[in-house]
Amino acid sequence: MSARPPRDPAGQHTPQPDPRLHWWDHHVSTPRVRRALALLAACLIGVLAVSWAGVALLGALPGDAESAAEVREEPLSWLVLAPARALDWLGHPIPGAVIVVALAGWLWRRIGWRHAVLVVGAAAVVGVTSLIKEAVGRSRPEGALLSDPSFPSGHTAWAAAVFGVAAVLAIERRRWRAAAGCLAIVGVMGPSRVLLGVHWASDVVAGYAVGLAWLIGLLLVGLPWAGRDRNRVHHDQATRT
């Protein structure tokens, strides 16, 4: 038999906060976990730095030439590449902006404006990748129909940051299918760039490093700030009760 919710002195039931809205605070936002996340972000930045140095000094990293040659010599059918092309379209500026705006608008309505800002902040990783691309100036693999610099993969970094934040928020609210879908996009986006022949393998590694480091920064700084929205939701629930 479940326990009855506590009553206040006036005899009314005291509304309890939705545990889904405080998952981060109760289970993840502890000093030990925050230190571990900060250390992981530092390691990811180190991966980016090593990849950058390798490209600058050697022109390529181990596996780059082999994977690019395999893609050129053993082209896949259009049917096999269809998911990769769909992900490629997803990361283009207009579709990507529509996704970010739609997700931000939904979060603003359901939770609060700070969560909308959190998603927009995740999408801002494209600015970081653009600056690095211009600084490195790496050419695309042979046969790629793109002329902008290759390192790091902007699609990969964008997917890791935006869909990574979406996955965390979905897990927080126990929307497991939505979380799994977001994580699948994050995991598949990188390899799809190599399969399409538009990126070197090291571009993708660096893209994941940038995107995930940016994501961790948002989780450590932005998500606690956005938690004020969760407090507002609880307050509204209490007022309606």
Q: What pLDDT digit, counting tens, does each position of 85-96 carry?
A: 999 999 999 999
Amino acid 208 reads Y
What's the confidence (pLDDT) of residue 117? Answer: 93
What's the confidence (pLDDT) of residue 23? Answer: 54
Query: Using CA atoms in the order 39, 43, 44, 46, what is the torsion angle rounded to 10 degrees?
Result: 140
What's the confidence (pLDDT) of residue 72? Answer: 82
Cα–Cα dist 51/156, whole Å: 15
What does each C-alpha distance from 202 to 95, 141, 155, 167 come to in angstroms? 25, 11, 14, 25
Cross-strand pairs, 7: 13
What average pLDDT values come out for the chain (241 residues) when binned by 10 residues?
50 49 60 90 96 92 88 80 93 95 94 92 96 94 86 96 95 92 97 93 97 95 77 48 49
What's the confidence (pLDDT) of residue 234? Answer: 44
